[in-house]
Structure 1
Amino acid sequence: MADAYADLVAEGWLTARRGSGTLVADRMITQPISAGSAAEPSCDPRHDLIPGSPDLSTFPRAAWLKATRRALAAAPDDVFGYGDPRGRPELRAALADHLARARGVYVSPENVLICAGISHGLQILSKVLADRRAKNIAVESYGLERYWELLAAAGLHTLPLPLDTHGTDPVPPVDTDAVLLTPAHQFPVGTTLQRDRRTAVVDWARRTGGLILEDDYDGEFRFDRQSVGALQGLDPNCVVYLGTASITLAPGLRLAWMAVPPMLAEQAAATKGQIDSCEAVSQLTMAEFITSGGYGHHVRATRRRYRDRRDALVAALAQHAPKVRVIGTAAGLHTVLGLPPGTEQQVLQSTARQGLKMVGLSRYRHERSSSPMADGLVVGYGVPSDTAWPRALSALMQVLS
């Protein structure tokens, strides 16, 4: 016992003073030092308004569980093997039918390739292009840096396309082998590729043998009218169509797909087999979810929900900040708010103080872009729940008004 007391005294938990006995030490409890400066405390954002993600609380758990049970009950034994690198035939057939009806994509199930996300698809395609001795790929002046980095990792040089008041001018410069576009709802600017420009870029591909990579971002979330058909429908032989369940359902499913031109299908499948495969049970569930009508029902329901959020944002701006210019509201889970020149960082600091996690438009500009846009705020209204969105919108209006 004496040794135990001695240890506690040595460690500072007890004090032993002659004539006073042994007492519990008066220790000051200190808080751990955070990564930020003590003079500048950081506050966790209450509302995530970063674009590119859906409201995860709307994931159709019950319907997905039923689809999983039905899919597993009918699953052949080979579903638990390594399988075809193209993906499960059930899902490829279901997607070929769904994409034809919903997006005007013309592809046979044999030329559908299942992947784990748009990034995974681009990783596959960039290697295919590099193996075909491609050097340059044109990209939009504003987009996702991680996509450009994937292309660069394969040895491809990314060349930003011109941007004007009508959106991206998609016809690439000379010596370009491919072009990456988001024609349905350009990310992040929000424009839709105009009819004459869609035709022009397809004509370029036919004339030069170039390849168009179509990221169908927000293609199923058009609000003002019928969704614009996929660019791939104009010529399936020169356009690779990329779609994903990350926005319509949830990114955690790791389910995406490509409609690959016949001339590239075999090479793309072989390349995917070298990189990675995709979990089979989720593929079977997705196939069942599509064929049973559950997927279409979910997309229609979430489209209405996001349209209501878009409408609430536009109405709030008209009331509280009528001078703010709104860009790209026709579709998708985000919009861009134009800001006076030189104010983007100041506004972002103000939104952070209001507990809003946001990004500015300049965050998405290609470093070699010669067509910079004015300052802007990219408002993603997909992530907050139905109950949280009004509070997030109110906090945003406090900044902008």
Structure 2
Amino acid sequence: MADDRTDSAWGTFLELGGSAEGPMHVRLTRALRAAVTGGRIASGSALPPSRTLAAELGCSRWVVTEAYAQLVAEGYLEARSGSATRVRAQAAPAPATSGTDAVTRWEPAFDMLPGVPDLRAFPRRRWADAVREATGALTWGELGYPDAAGHARLRQRLAAYLVRGRGASLDARQLVVCAGTLDAVLRLCRALRADGHTHMAVEDPGWSRLGSAVRAAGLVPVPVPVDGDGLRVDLLRRASQVRSVIVAPAHQFPTGVVLAPARRADLVAWAREVDGLVLEDDYDAEFRYDRHPVGALQGMAPEHVVLMGSVSKTLSPALRIGWAVAPPRWADALGAEHVGGMPPPVIDQEAFARFLARGAYDRYLRASRLRYKRRRDHLLDELATSLPGFPVSGAAAGFHLLLSLTDCSAPAVVEEAARREVRLADLDDYRMVRAADAAGSKLVLGYGNLADQAVPGAVRRLARAIDAARLRDRSGIDDGRTGERAG
């Protein structure tokens, strides 16, 4: 049954079988009954008029009316004068809900997980306008299969933005548009493996999905510790099997540290010595509050650094638009179809190119910086009031910070916070090599997608969760109601 109507069964596939299986009206009755009981036609759905369905099936109208009448008599359908024949309520089974689905739909009252921007602030109207204009402006040829390296106009606009805003050194031919940072990492790892690489260094702690992507591409991820000055390049040098590394020099996740100038120079020197490649994750470098954003490492050594970025931390992860700026040799490999990956839809690429060309992206970033800074300051004030004596670090950039704990473990606090409808993360969740003891326990508190008015309530519940976790760690009591603060 072809066609598509709201709240209808006009598009349901019917298995009628051959003439050997009985008369046509009997086979149609059986097929409709199976579609209802199997859940392919939902309760309340309207069936096509008998004349329409008969024409589509190439049978007489009598066949359809007989089938409908039989199913009405059996209680599967109901027919009302002047209305469509519909599936009777409760005739079709309700869709099943798995336990996994129930978990993924859980939405806490306060979401403090890191890495999510302010989704409430997404510029819906301006983006919709850009998509509509892009749809009308694209030529017929541009509506075909996309260039694996990305749409030409977006590559040009992005190249200009990265030179101007991030201090990068490139031309548009070195830039490949991809579906985000992970897509870029997967492509690069496949190209590196084909070139003979077997291992890749990753920051520890760091974004765990990067290590998973390295492993999925066939390379061995090698953890390298991060301290107050960023990646330990001296320890990287000891890993003789490594000639490539993923690093976030402008704002390391999750510690929030900036790669110190001496370390930046040492990392570039290492890459030149081993003829290696540095994959620079520039994930939220635009959001710096204590000074101007730190320029891209790629500008120091464009022949040995791949600059990777996306709009996931600025606009929305739902857009799946990212980019990688690579030395010419690796840019060709990145854009090759055999390394896998798929660029974002051409219409979205053109829309983002227009966003860049009109300055809308720059204006949105400026407004976001002010919004995140106000929210960060508000969060710091609330933490100082409700949790005095708990050190905070990594708050100079991005939209997350670290809260050091005393007298309790981070896993216990995360669990107690979840009981109070607060979702947050343990720093150790981002380590490849776990911390030896709980004395250095830290929480990663994200505030990007936390509404301004929700900040005080979130901190109060966090404070109560910490009190409860302290009692649990001291006495072994597993009761989220103990030790709560008043208010």
Mark yes or no: TM-score above 0.5. Answer: yes
* C-alpha contact (below 8 Å) 1:141/1:369 kept by paired residues: no
* C-alpha contact (below 8 Å) 2:187/2:340 kept by paired residues: no
Alignment match, 1:190: 256
Q: Does 1:232 align with 2:298?
A: yes
* C-alpha contact (below 8 Å) 1:51/1:380 kept by paired residues: yes
Q: Shift of residue 275 of structure 1?
A: 3.2
Given the superposition, is the C-alpha separation of residues 370 and 198 from structure 1 closer, same or farther in structure 2, using an over 3 Å criterion?
A: farther
Which whole-Å deviations, capped at 9, do the CAs of 1:107-152 have from their partners, x for residues lacking one?
1111110111111111111101111110111111111222111111
Percent identity, aligned pairs only, is 38
Q: Write the letter of the residue equivalent to 2:367.
A: A
* C-alpha contact (below 8 Å) 2:202/2:221 kept by paired residues: yes
CA separation in 2, counterparts of 1:388 and 1:77? 48
CA separation in 2, counterparts of 1:355 and 1:232? 41
Alignment match, 1:89: 152
CA separation in 1, counterparts of 2:109 and 2:283? 27
Which whole-Å deviations, capped at 9, do the CAs of 1:175-197 have from their partners, x for residues lacking one?
21101101111111110111100
Q: Write the letter of the residue equivalent to 1:99.
A: L
Q: Shift of residue 351 of structure 1?
A: 1.2
* C-alpha contact (below 8 Å) 1:205/1:212 kept by paired residues: yes
CA separation in 1, counterparts of 2:261 and 2:283? 17
* C-alpha contact (below 8 Å) 2:117/2:399 kept by paired residues: yes
* C-alpha contact (below 8 Å) 1:183/1:215 kept by paired residues: yes
Alignment match, 1:162: 225
Alignment match, 1:61: 124
* C-alpha contact (below 8 Å) 1:85/1:273 kept by paired residues: no
Q: Write the letter of the residue equivalent to 1:238.
A: H
Alignment match, 2:406: 340
CA separation in 2, counterparts of 1:370 and 1:216? 30
Given the superposition, is the C-alpha separation of residues 264 and 352 from structure 1 closer, same or farther in structure 2, using an over 3 Å criterion?
A: same
CA separation in 2, counterparts of 1:263 and 1:223? 36
Alignment match, 2:421: 355
Given the superposition, is the C-alpha separation of residues 306 and 166 from structure 1 closer, same or farther in structure 2, using an over 3 Å criterion?
A: same
Larger radius of gyration: 2
Given the superposition, is the C-alpha separation of residues 48 and 229 from structure 1 closer, same or farther in structure 2, using an over 3 Å criterion?
A: same
Following TM superposition, where does structure 1 have runs of at least 4 consecutive aligned residues deviating by more than 4 angstroms?
A: 32-36, 368-373
Which whole-Å deviations, capped at 9, do the CAs of 1:259-303 have from their partners, x for residues lacking one?
111121111111466432321000000000011010011111111
After superposition, residues 1-400 of structure 1 pair within 5 angstroms as 45-171=108-234, 172=236, 173-271=239-337, 274-340=340-406, 343-367=409-433, 374-400=440-466
Given the superposition, is the C-alpha separation of residues 208 and 399 from structure 1 closer, same or farther in structure 2, using an over 3 Å criterion?
A: same
* C-alpha contact (below 8 Å) 2:179/2:341 kept by paired residues: no
Alignment match, 1:13: none
* C-alpha contact (below 8 Å) 2:224/2:232 kept by paired residues: yes
Q: Which runs of 5+ in 2 are unaligned?
A: 1-73, 75-95, 101-105, 468-487
Bigger relative contact order, structure 1 or 2, given CA contacts below 8 A and separation 6+?
A: 1
Q: Write the letter of the residue equivalent to 1:55.
A: D
Which whole-Å deviations, capped at 9, do the CAs of 1:238-263 have from their partners, x for residues lacking one?
00000010110000001000111112
* C-alpha contact (below 8 Å) 1:94/1:290 kept by paired residues: yes
Q: Shift of residue 342 of structure 1?
A: 5.2
TM-score (norm 1): 0.85
CA separation in 1, counterparts of 2:437 and 2:244? 20
- Indicate the SS of the match to 2:336: helix
Q: How many residues align?
A: 367
* C-alpha contact (below 8 Å) 2:178/2:341 kept by paired residues: no
Aligned-pair RMSD on alpha carbons?
Answer: 2.6
- Indicate the SS of the match to 1:308: helix
Give the stretch that moved more between structures: 366-375 or 233-242: 366-375
* C-alpha contact (below 8 Å) 2:187/2:339 kept by paired residues: no
Q: Shift of residue 378 of structure 1?
A: 0.5
Q: Which runs of 5+ in 1 are unaligned?
A: 1-6, 8-31, 37-42
